[in-house]
Amino acid sequence: MLKHPCRVAALGAAALATALLVSGCSLQPDVSARLQPNPRISQPAPALTGTSLSGSHIDLAALRGRPVVLDFWASWCGPCRAEQDELNGLVSKYAAHGVQFLGVDIRDDSANALAYVKQFQVNYPSLFDPASDAAGTFNVNAPPTTLVVDGSGTIRLRELGSLSDVPSTLNSLLGSS
Amino acid sequence: MATATRPPARLTRPTARPPRRGARGRTSLGRFWHQYTRMRTAIYFLMGILGIVLIGTFVPQQFSSADQKVTEFVAAHQNLNDLFTHLGLPLTSVFVSPLFYVLLASLYIALLSCVITRGRALVGRTLRGYPRSPQYWGEWGSWLFHTSFFLLVVAVVFGKATGFDGIMTITEGQRVAETPASYDTLQEGMLFDGRHSGYVVHLNSFRAPLQSNGMPSDFVSNMTLYDSGRPVVTKDVRVNEFLGYNGVDFYQQDYGWAPHLLVRNPAGEVVSDTDIQMISDNKTASTGVLKVPDYNYTLPGQSKPTQIGAKLVLYPDAQALPQVSGTGNALNVSYAPGTAAANNPVLEVQLFVGNLGLDNGSSQDVFSLDTGAMTPYYASAAAFALPLHQTTTLQLPAANNGTAGFTISFVDLPQFSLFHVKKDNGVPLVYTTFILTMVGLLTKLYLRPFLERRRRRRRTVLQAGGRGGSQVLESPPTTVREEVLTR
Amino acid sequence: MTDTPLSLTLFGVAVAFYVAALVGFLAYISFRRRRVADTALALVALGWPFHVAAILTRAFEAGHWPLGNIYEYSTGISFVVVTTFLVISLRAGQRLLGVPAMILAIALMAVAYMLYVPPGNLVPALHSYWLTIHVTSMATASGLLVFSSFFAMFFLARRWADGYALATAGGASRVGGVSGGGGAAVMTSGGGGGVGGGAGGSLAGALRKLPSARTLDGWSFRFVMIGFPVWTFGVMMGAVWGEHAWGRYWGWDPKETFSFIVWVVFAIYLHARVTYGWRETRAALITVVGLVAIFADLYAVNLWIAGLHSYARA
């Protein structure tokens, strides 16, 4: 076979094409069907500044020194609503240990978001991000996405649609400091 | 594929082809390969593709036909569809079916094999100083034509695999960042690096001026694109004029009404203040759904706060019908669609109270209302009319058998614009292969006859001069117009 | 009702000339008088300027390139068909070609009339100079490729006529008439013998006025050679337009799909013919498949299958 380089090349192309086409069947799979990658874990958190739902100024950098739980949410998002009570539970457990909680309300209207905050008795501030600008810089594809940022400003955890690993991450951060 | 497994008895037949790697020990794999990459086989592959494509024209296809038609077809031909799906050809998505890809890949492998073999032969002949006859140029034309087809697929795959493709909705006055969270649907290529641009687009205004026949003469989105907070482009985007910046392109695709509704609960708090996207085919009547999940009001005797939802029908140019009940009760007025112009916008609101079903964690379609755990506001499920700039006050039960008033206001009637947003770096390559294909095809079909005619004319002149003997002998036969395109 | 636009009146005059010409060509089959055919040809040549004028006035009335809906498109293709026919018949003396050419031209114009739309604005999707490039090349290519099928059908007819003549010459006493000067003698002498043989002989005789089967096959190939690159160019320009307007150069929209089918059919024709020497009968059958595909692309897709190109109906 090696006497025929063209044949080898063609076989290579055949293998590649078959692998590409038959396995995936589509060159552009739907993003929502894809597993969430962890592209920014253990990377420094990008800058995050803006205005909160209640109108005050928010700057993630000002919270440096303490672990921060960053939750991207929206009032129309069913999974966000389902996990809000659990998130509130984490707040009451960890806020006393110096953990900061910060919401980022994406693709939303402020009145609807404020009604959500009132209904779920959310007691941490949320940055208002109707254009999903901050979601973009944090590579967040969809709410609810929860990040844990350590005191040095490094992203230590990223979870989509779940909070299950947040307590252990916070425990290890609090234990090590 | 069937032809590939056919016993290669035909090979033993004497053929005109010179036995280059001939009878000397061709392995069974080699024989398979030979059969597989023959042009006859390629033509069968092409015919197979043709068959699939024909199915694709007549059966509604996912992503290109309306979803409803696809569902209807699957429901009506359940067994047939199941059978074909097992055969690797799901009828409603033939263009992304395994069988289609296998045939395409086979065709392109055959094409690649042919292009390599012929290319080597041509280069060899050129190096050996083969005379530059018309036939020689014709073969180069044919080679270029086939090679550019191979390159076309490379360009398409490269562009799709390294780019993305999505749909984004923006309401007038809204700003949206080009990032995955902003899309209604988004497909990313397998080799896409995951880095979206983050450009923020602002829909300054949208207009769809109507002609006398009620059809829009044009639809235009005036947009500004911001790169890192700086406005870099402002443009009127219409069907044939897209907004492109650094490889990210925004195409005007569709538009619709987005009535701005404001809802206050009995405590007078604003619990919803939002633009609601409506869908329709003709913009003279469109439908949408209002959901107020955080109504912040608990009905007497219940433990949890209630939620409200509404099915909406918008008539931008509502024509009042004769009243059904004749009592003059506004709640019984019904409307018919007029034109698509916002001459008399009226919303028909069919209100529901109860549980929207959002809080159990499910993701819901914004265009549908699950009324399974809700009760109609009016026992008859009747709708009430809400003209533009008006507020309707309604009553809900309150403690001690009292009532509590709440309001719904139709504040404004902006429009939304739907964009196809994509990045495809393969497009310039695709266009290059188009040019190469045309050059190859024209060379093959026209340059050769042209050269032959010229040569014949020259030969006639030479013969007339009486010293054309050797020239004539050198000329290839000119009676056969066509020769082997491949192989 | 508003007044009939000038373009429609001119359109009607052109159709009237073509119908008269068709009658002439049909008469030519029966009487085989050169003068009849020449008169018919003259009628086509007289109708043609009206056809041109109909298209030009339509362009002025509508204010855009006159290929924006199916009325204009059908009128355009029939124009390509008539023009091509005139060129061939004047240069190569192909009179009998008038029958299929006129039938097709009249049919296209009848469809155009049935789907008539008064001159008006284009739908927004067509506001583009690509309309001129893409749609004009598709209409031209369609008009040219149908001639390859016409010649292929003539080839088949001529083959049949040759076979008929051979069979008659071998089996009956009426030998002299057939092999001598065509079928005229067959028709007259066969009057007493058998009606069927007479009619067949008449048709066979007329068909044997056609050029040789080999020549017809060559003409069929020549029109694929001309039409195929134009079709290829048109499809590619459609892809460029699709990219420009919608952001995708190919989407398996029904119209796109069918244009691909037509392209593949003629690509198979070229390959099969060139590689296997699939000339004549089998090649002729492929072009007939191509003809069916072209018309499916032109009408079936627009009228019965919804897609992005459906606006062409309005």
A175 to chain B, closest Cα gap in Å: 32
- Taking an 8 Å cut-off on Cβ atoms, the answer to whether C272 and B422 are in contact is no
Please report residues of C whose CB lies closer than 8 A to that of B66.
306
Contacts of B195 (CB under 8 A, 6+ apart): none
C87 to chain B, closest Cα gap in Å: 20
Please report residues of B whose CB lies closer than 8 A to that of C218.
481
Task: Give the pLDDT confidence score for residue B89 in this predicted structure.
Answer: 82
Q: How many domains does chain C have?
A: 2
Task: Give the pLDDT confidence score for residue B388 in this predicted structure.
Answer: 95
What percentage of chain C exceeds 70 in pLDDT? 84
ipTM: 0.85
The 10s digit of each residue's pLDDT in B153-180 is 889 989 999 999 999 999 999 999 999 9
Whether C273 is in a domain gets the answer: no
Task: Give the pLDDT confidence score for residue C186 in this predicted structure.
Answer: 34
The 10s digit of each residue's pLDDT in C189-211 is 333 333 345 667 777 877 777 88
Task: Give the pLDDT confidence score for residue B7 in this predicted structure.
Answer: 41
Task: Give the pLDDT confidence score for residue C123 in this predicted structure.
Answer: 77
Please report residues of B whose CB lies closer than 8 A to that of A139.
194
Sort strands A100-106 and A68-73 into parallel, antiparallel or unpaired.
parallel
- Taking an 8 Å cut-off on Cβ atoms, the answer to whether C276 and B40 are in contact is yes
For the segment C116-139, the average pLDDT, to the nearest whole number, is 85
Which band of pLDDT confidence, cut at 50, 70 and 90, is reported for residue A9?
Answer: low
- Taking an 8 Å cut-off on Cβ atoms, the answer to whether B188 and A29 are in contact is yes
Please report residues of C whose CB lies closer than 8 A to that of B219.
124
Please report residues of C whose CB lies closer than 8 A to that of B441.
228-229, 232
**Minimal-distance CA residue of chain C relative to B418:** C246
**Minimal-distance CA residue of chain A relative to B180:** A141
- The answer to which of B231-245, B258-272, C56-70 has the lowest mean pLDDT is C56-70
- Among candidates B64, B484, B487 on the partner chain, residue whose Cβ is nearest the Cβ of C252: B64
- Taking an 8 Å cut-off on Cβ atoms, the answer to whether B438 and C252 are in contact is no
Task: Give the pLDDT confidence score for residue C275 in this predicted structure.
Answer: 67
Which contacts (CB < 8 Å, 24+ apart) does range C24-33 have?
C24/C98, C25/C95, C25/C96, C25/C98, C25/C99, C25/C102, C26/C99, C28/C95, C28/C96, C28/C98, C28/C206, C29/C96, C29/C99, C29/C203, C29/C206, C30/C202, C30/C206, C32/C182, C32/C184, C32/C205, C32/C206, C32/C209
Structural tokens at position B128: 């050996």
- The answer to which of A58-72, B76-90, B179-193, C186-200 has the lowest mean pLDDT is C186-200
- Taking an 8 Å cut-off on Cβ atoms, the answer to whether A28 and B196 are in contact is no
Residue A6, pLDDT above cutoff 60: no
- The answer to which of A24-38, B233-247, B356-370 has the lowest mean pLDDT is A24-38
Task: Give the pLDDT confidence score for residue A41 in this predicted structure.
Answer: 61
C88 and C1 in a common domain: yes
Residue B258, pLDDT above cutoff 90: yes
Sort strands A100-106 and A126-129 into parallel, antiparallel or unpaired.
parallel
Residue A30, pLDDT above cutoff 60: no
Looking at the complex, does the CB of residue B217 fall below 8 Å from at least one CB of chain C? yes
Task: Give the pLDDT confidence score for residue B348 in this predicted structure.
Answer: 92
C189 and C83 in a common domain: no
Looking at the complex, does the CB of residue B436 fall below 8 Å from at least one CB of chain C? no
For the segment C236-256, the average pLDDT, to the nearest whole number, is 90
DSSP C66-89: S-SSHHHHHHHHHHHHHHHHHHHH
A31 to chain B, closest Cα gap in Å: 5
Task: Identify the three-state secondary structure at position B186.
Answer: strand
Q: How far apart are CA B220 and CA C124, in angstroms?
A: 10
The 10s digit of each residue's pLDDT in B27-72 is 777 877 777 777 777 778 888 888 888 888 778 887 666 677 778 8
C106 and C180 in a common domain: no
Closest of B256, B244, B201, B255 to residue B422, by C-alpha: B244
Domain that holds residue C42: 1-122
User: What are chain C's partners, defined as 3 or more CB pairs within 8 angstroms?
Assistant: B
For residue B350, report the phi and psi dihedrals to the nearest 5 degrees.
Answer: -110, 105
Average pLDDT, chain B: 83
Which band of pLDDT confidence, cut at 50, 70 and 90, is reported for residue B467?
Answer: very low
The 10s digit of each residue's pLDDT in B398-407 is 888 888 999 9
- Domain of residue C112, CATH code: 1.20.120
For the segment B361-386, the average pLDDT, to the nearest whole number, is 85
Which band of pLDDT confidence, cut at 50, 70 and 90, is reported for residue C176?
Answer: very low
Specify the higher pLDDT residue, C246 or C181.
C246
The 10s digit of each residue's pLDDT in C66-83 is 888 889 999 999 999 999
C4 and C64 in a common domain: yes
- Among candidates A106, A112, A119 on the partner chain, residue whose Cβ is nearest the Cβ of B274: A112
Task: Give the pLDDT confidence score for residue B80 in this predicted structure.
Answer: 85
Residue at B140: amino acid letter: W
- Taking an 8 Å cut-off on Cβ atoms, the answer to whether B296 and A109 are in contact is no
Structural tokens at position C54: 């109909």
Which band of pLDDT confidence, cut at 50, 70 and 90, is reported for residue B6?
Answer: very low
The 10s digit of each residue's pLDDT in C29-61 is 777 788 888 999 999 999 999 999 999 999 998
Sort strands B391-397 and B403-412 into parallel, antiparallel or unpaired.
antiparallel
Q: How far apart are CA A70 and CA A147, in angstroms?
A: 5
Specify the higher pLDDT residue, C309 or B432.
B432
Which band of pLDDT confidence, cut at 50, 70 and 90, is reported for residue B473?
Answer: very low
- Taking an 8 Å cut-off on Cβ atoms, the answer to whether A6 and B181 are in contact is no
Residue B232, pLDDT above cutoff 90: yes
Specify the higher pLDDT residue, C268 or C42.
C42
- Taking an 8 Å cut-off on Cβ atoms, the answer to whether A31 and B180 are in contact is yes
Residue C250, pLDDT above cutoff 60: yes
Residue A114, pLDDT above cutoff 80: yes
Which band of pLDDT confidence, cut at 50, 70 and 90, is reported for residue B459?
Answer: confident
Task: Give the pLDDT confidence score for residue C279 in this predicted structure.
Answer: 67
Q: Where are the domains of chain A?
A: 37-176
Task: Give the pLDDT confidence score for residue C304 in this predicted structure.
Answer: 63
The 10s digit of each residue's pLDDT in A33-79 is 444 445 446 789 999 999 999 999 999 999 999 999 999 999 999 99
Task: Give the pLDDT confidence score for residue C33 in this predicted structure.
Answer: 81
Q: What letter would DSSP give residue B212?
A: T
- Taking an 8 Å cut-off on Cβ atoms, the answer to whether A31 and B291 are in contact is no
Residue B350, pLDDT above cutoff 50: yes
Which band of pLDDT confidence, cut at 50, 70 and 90, is reported for residue B202?
Answer: very high
Task: Identify the three-state secondary structure at position C145.
Answer: helix
Specify the higher pLDDT residue, C19 or C304.
C19
Task: Give the C-alpha distances (Å, rounded to integers) separating B183 from A141, B62, B253, B335, B483.
Answer: 9, 19, 14, 34, 53
What percentage of chain B exceeds 70 in pLDDT? 86
Residue B240, pLDDT above cutoff 70: yes
Task: Give the pLDDT confidence score for residue A18 in this predicted structure.
Answer: 54
C163 and C109 in a common domain: no
Residue A168, pLDDT above cutoff 70: yes
Q: How far apart are CA B65 and CA B147, in angstroms?
A: 33
Task: Give the pLDDT confidence score for residue B328 in this predicted structure.
Answer: 42
Task: Give the pLDDT confidence score for residue A2 in this predicted structure.
Answer: 38
For the segment C220-235, the average pLDDT, to the nearest whole number, is 94
Which band of pLDDT confidence, cut at 50, 70 and 90, is reported for residue B486?
Answer: very low
- For chains B and C, CB pairs below 8 A equal 115
What percentage of chain A exceeds 90 in pLDDT? 69
Is there contact between C and A if contact means ≥3 C-beta pairs under 8 Å?
no
Residue C270, pLDDT above cutoff 50: yes
Contacts of B419 (CB under 8 A, 6+ apart): B167, B168, B169, B170, B221, B237, B250, B251, B252, B253
CA angle C248, C251, C255 (to 5 degrees): 120
Structural tokens at position A122: 């959310």
**pTM, rounded to two decimals:** 0.83
Best mutation target, B113, B179, B230, B411, to test chain A (most A CBs within 10 A): B179
Task: Give the pLDDT confidence score for residue C119 in this predicted structure.
Answer: 82
- Taking an 8 Å cut-off on Cβ atoms, the answer to whether B422 and C247 are in contact is yes
- Taking an 8 Å cut-off on Cβ atoms, the answer to whether C248 and B253 are in contact is no
> Residues 259-288, chain B: which have Cβ within 8 Å of C?
none
CB B437 within 8 A of CB B153: no
C106 and C2 in a common domain: yes
Looking at the complex, does the CB of residue A112 fall below 8 Å from at least one CB of chain B? yes
The 10s digit of each residue's pLDDT in C137-159 is 999 999 999 999 999 998 998 88
Residue B203, pLDDT above cutoff 60: yes
For residue B6, report the phi and psi dihedrals to the nearest 5 degrees.
Answer: -60, 135
Which band of pLDDT confidence, cut at 50, 70 and 90, is reported for residue C242?
Answer: very high
> Residues 76-95, chain B: which have Cβ within 8 Å of C?
95
Q: How far apart are CA A84 and CA A174, in angstroms?
A: 23
Report residue A36 CA to chain centroid gap: 9
Q: How far apart are CA B93 and CA B91, in angstroms?
A: 6
A171 to chain B, closest Cα gap in Å: 27
Which band of pLDDT confidence, cut at 50, 70 and 90, is reported for residue A127?
Answer: very high
Please report residues of A whose CB lies closer than 8 A to that of B289.
none
Residue B482, pLDDT above cutoff 60: no
The 10s digit of each residue's pLDDT in B279-301 is 987 788 999 999 999 999 999 88
- The answer regarding whether domain A37-176 maps to CATH 3.40.30.10 reads yes
What percentage of chain B exceeds 90 in pLDDT? 40
Dihedral (CA of B424, B427, B433, B434) sign: positive
In the block, residue with structure tokens 């964009």:
B419
- The answer to which of A148-162, B210-224, B331-345 has the lowest mean pLDDT is B331-345
